[in-house]
């Protein structure tokens, strides 16, 4: 495969009919901005943002006026089928999910319904479609049976997420593999999964996530409270996995041989502990921001050490992470402070997208 740049990826989407689920969420909003900027004919299918701030951001960016935004639930197969018939997508990027580990302990059945049956519904719509060529199902780094190894998991490791969220995403991987083998073995429709690490960036207002918790605490003059400061995660800026998703869907469009499963994580040096991330955040935020550890009694299980080996996507697709953890935190803090100050965060997102894709050519 010839060397491909991220600018090539953006150019590919011009004029393409793209269907994105979960377009009102954190990743979905950023992905929508990228695709609209690239000139795609974009359809989004999602419930409203689960947070008031996320809904406000979606409204401020006026995304619904720039794309076809459909309010819908991936658990509703009939609604999805109707949306596919009306929009006739060529590319499907499936991001909709119940994405929180701790929430999955509270609502396991709903988590499985959204993450497993939602995936099956998307793939069933693809099976009935005569227009779809390229499909990407976004899962997570947590799909693997975590043995707390100090090296990164590879795509052929055993899938067995521990908690309901992680396990539901493992199941979504298996559903995707089954559909690929059962209905798309001829390569006419190319289907991949992307297993991304923990993402940070402006516009994430989720509860019980480290960076949004840091921002809330620092904004209120409180110390950030960490449950597991020694846990290690593959943190990366949101633009990193999104650029990988665009690359995967682009490359497999042209050649079915590239369809498969891909880890999307940072370099090893950017896999840091939660405590290290919090300390970096506090230094970047300034204003006396601080953090402290607090062990919760009876807290549900969460992985202590998790790292991805992203050699496959680097070798096969030529994708490389761009921003190190310090840059990722700096861009996140800059966005958060702009939001608090009532500045034009849409312009800041556009600038960060442009900087990321331009710098990636170096």
**If DSSP codes are grouped into helix, strand and coil, which group holds residue 293?**
strand
What are the CA-CA distances from residue 165 to residues 38, 142, 171, 283 (Å)?
Answer: 32, 9, 10, 32
What tokens appear for 50 in the block? 């689960």
Residue spans per domain, the chain: 6-296+305-359
The stretch 12-23 carries a mean pLDDT of: 98
Whole-number pLDDT of residue 305? 75
**If DSSP codes are grouped into helix, strand and coil, which group holds residue 334?**
helix
End-to-end CA distance of the chain: 19
Strand runs labelled E in the chain: 17-21, 41-46, 68-71, 91-94, 134-138, 190-196, 199-200, 224-226, 232-233, 236-237, 261-264, 272-273, 291-293
Query: pLDDT digits over 192-206, tens only?
Result: 999 998 999 999 999
Query: Residue 337 pLDDT more than 80?
Result: yes
What tokens appear for 103 in the block? 């929430």
The pLDDT mean for the chain works out to: 95
**If DSSP codes are grouped into helix, strand and coil, which group holds residue 55?**
helix
Read off the pLDDT band of 189 (50, 70, 90). Answer: very high
The stretch 143-167 carries a mean pLDDT of: 94
Read off the pLDDT band of 301 (50, 70, 90). Answer: low
**If DSSP codes are grouped into helix, strand and coil, which group holds residue 91?**
strand
More confident residue, 190 or 230: 190
- Residues of the chain above pLDDT 70, percent: 96
In whole angstroms, what is the distance from residue 106 CA to residue 198 CA? 21
So what CATH class is 6-296+305-359? alpha beta
In whole angstroms, what is the distance from residue 190 CA to residue 132 CA? 9
Residues counted in the chain: 362
In whole angstroms, what is the distance from residue 256 CA to residue 187 CA? 5
In whole angstroms, what is the distance from residue 196 CA to residue 215 CA? 23
Whether pTM exceeds 0.85: yes
Query: Residue 294 pLDDT more than 90?
Result: no
Strand partners, 70: 45
Read off the pLDDT band of 362 (50, 70, 90). Answer: very low
CB 274, CB 207: distance < 8 Å:
no
Whole-number pLDDT of residue 296? 62
CA torsion, points 196, 143, 326, 103, in degrees to nearest 10?
100
Q: Is 336 exposed, middle or buried (0-12, 13-18, 19+ CB in 10 A)?
A: buried
Tokens 């079915």 appear where?
256
What tokens appear for 151 in the block? 């090296």
The stretch 41-52 carries a mean pLDDT of: 96
In whole angstroms, what is the distance from residue 144 CA to residue 138 CA? 14
């Amino acid at each position: 495969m010839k060397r491909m740049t991220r600018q090539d990826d953006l150019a590919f989407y011009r004029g393409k009919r793209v269907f994105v689920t979960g377009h009102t969420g954190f990743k979905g909003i950023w992905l929508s901005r990228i695709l609209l900027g690239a000139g795609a004919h974009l359809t989004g299918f999602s419930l409203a943002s689960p947070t008031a701030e996320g809904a406000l951001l979606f409204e401020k960016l006026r995304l619904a006026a720039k794309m076809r935004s459909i309010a819908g639930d991936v658990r509703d197969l009939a609604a999805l089928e109707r949306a596919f018939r009306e929009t006739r997508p060529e590319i499907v990027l499936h991001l909709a999910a119940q994405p929180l580990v701790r929430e999955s302990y509270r609502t396991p059945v709903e988590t499985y319904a959204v993450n497993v049956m939602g995936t099956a519904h998307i793939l069933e719509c693809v099976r009935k479609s005569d227009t779809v060529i390229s499909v990407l199902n976004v899962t997570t780094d947590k799909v693997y049976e975590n043995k707390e190894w100090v090296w990164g998991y590879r795509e052929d490791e055993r899938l067995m997420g521990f908690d309901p969220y992680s396990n539901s995403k493992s199941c979504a991987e298996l559903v995707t593999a089954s559909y690929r083998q059962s209905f798309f073995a001829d390569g006419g429709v190319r289907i991949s999964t992307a297993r991304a690490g923990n993402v940070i960036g402006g516009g994430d207002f989720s509860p019980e996530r480290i960076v949004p918790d840091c921002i809330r605490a620092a904004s209120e003059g409180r110390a950030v409270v960490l449950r597991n400061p020694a846990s290690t995660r593959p943190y990366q800026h949101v633009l990193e996995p999104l650029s990988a998703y665009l690359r995967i869907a682009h490359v497999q469009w042209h050649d079915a041989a590239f369809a498969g499963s891909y880890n999307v994580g940072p370099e090893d040096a950017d896999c840091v502990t939660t405590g290290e991330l919090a300390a970096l955040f506090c230094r970047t935020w300034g204003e006396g921001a601080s953090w402290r550890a607090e062990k919760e009694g009876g807290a549900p299980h969460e992985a202590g050490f998790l790292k991805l080996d992203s050699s496959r996507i680097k070798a096969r697709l030529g994708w490389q992470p761009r921003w190190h953890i310090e840059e990722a935190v700096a861009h996140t803090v800059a966005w958060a402070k702009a939001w608090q100050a009532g500045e034009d965060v849409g312009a800041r997102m556009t600038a960060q997208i442009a900087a990321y894709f331009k710098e990636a050519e170096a």
